[in-house]
Amino acid sequence: MNVAAYLGRIGYKGKVSTTIETLRGLHRAHLLSVPFENLDISLGRQILCNEDAFLRKIVERHRGGFCYEMNGAFAALLRTIGFEVTLLSARVPNKDGSYGPEFDHLALRVDLDTPWLADVGFGDSFLDPLRLETGVEQTQAGRIFRILGSDGSLHIERAEVAGSWEKQYSFTLQPRRIEDFAAMCHYHQTSPDSHFTRKRLCTIATPEGRITLSDMKLIVTRDGIKEERKLESEEEVQAVLMQTFEVTL
């Protein structure tokens, strides 16, 4: 794997070592440079659950991806640098509050002196890795996260403005292989029940918030304030993808 090319792709220029400082820097750089997107699904292009395919798409083709691609590629980068990385299966909550199936989401455990939860493939979530420690509120970029344990699983939650907590996902620490996620990767790009087949999405974190293309709608969030604009044509969509996300299909 070409580490220099990957670091160039995410614009990381810091020290490369197996420390929490490097992990934080790589994690944040990835989220600020590589969009979470499902554009290949709407185009009918097959997404293979394969590490080499992830790296070619993200590094060589300057694209983004969804969780299996993003965290699969990021895990490869971290391992090549020397980090101890474990793939974790996570379950994303449904609208009724219940959790979906295993392998619905791919997250990462990174072991240093203490274990950390890394995730560059969940869209609007934590910018820096979280300590894998239960019952502790962790604040970053004005947001508060916590990890709770119950029924043999860990549950990550984000504090809402109203004082409630929003479920992000549930996971266990059982080690997984990338092949274990292949069936759900196929499901999410082919099933009409998958939210990834229902609309186009391309979203990326910014220092001030987030920019999101959702079908024909462009949403820009700065310091908690959202501005929405409807795009009028497919040509305008393609222009936004190229100019805002640096994505060319």
Domain segments of the chain as ranges: 3-195
Torsion over CA: 175, 101, 65, 118 (sign): negative
Specify the 3-state DSSP secondary structure of 7.
Answer: helix
The pLDDT of residue 148 is above 90: yes
The pLDDT of residue 162 is above 80: no
* Catalytic site residue from 104, 119, 185, 188: 119
Distances (CA, A) of 94 to 45, 101, 121: 26, 10, 18
**42-73 b/e with 16+ CB inside 10 Å = b?**
beeeebebbbebbbebbbeeebbbbbbbbbbb
Write the pLDDT tens digit of every residue in 99-134.
889 999 999 999 999 999 999 999 888 999 999 999
- Please give the CATH architecture assigned to the domain spanning 3-195: 2-Layer Sandwich (3.30)
Phi-psi region of 189 (alpha: psi -120 to 50; beta: other; left: phi over 0): alpha
Confidence of residue 160 (pLDDT cuts 50, 70, 90): confident
R_g of the chain computed on alpha carbons = 17
Phi, psi of 73, rounded to the nearest 5 degrees: -70, -40
Q: Which segments of 29-127 are extended strands (E)?
A: 36-37, 84-91, 105-111, 115-118
Q: Which segments of the chain are extended strands (E)?
A: 36-37, 84-91, 105-111, 115-118, 130-131, 138-140, 143-150, 153-159, 165-171, 201-206, 209-214, 217-222, 225-230
Q: Which residues contact 137 (CB under 8 A, 6 or more apart)?
A: 144, 145, 146, 159
pLDDT of residue 90: 97
- Six-digit token pair at 200? 């186009």
The pLDDT of residue 20 is above 90: yes
pLDDT of residue 95: 82
* Catalytic site residue from 27, 30, 49, 105: 105
With beta carbons less than 8 A apart as the criterion, state whether 67 and 122 touch.
yes
Cα–Cα distance for residue pair 110/77, rounded to 1 Å: 12
Compute how many other C-beta atoms are within 10 angstroms of the C-beta atom of residue 97: 7
Confidence of residue 226 (pLDDT cuts 50, 70, 90): very high
Residue 113 designated active-site? no
Compute how many other C-beta atoms are within 10 angstroms of the C-beta atom of residue 77: 23
pLDDT of residue 98: 85
Cα–Cα distance for residue pair 20/7, rounded to 1 Å: 17
- Six-digit token pair at 111? 């072991």
The pLDDT of residue 15 is above 90: yes
How many residues are there in the chain? 249
Residue 67 designated active-site? yes
Mean of pLDDT over the chain: 95
* Catalytic site residue from 49, 67, 185, 202: 67
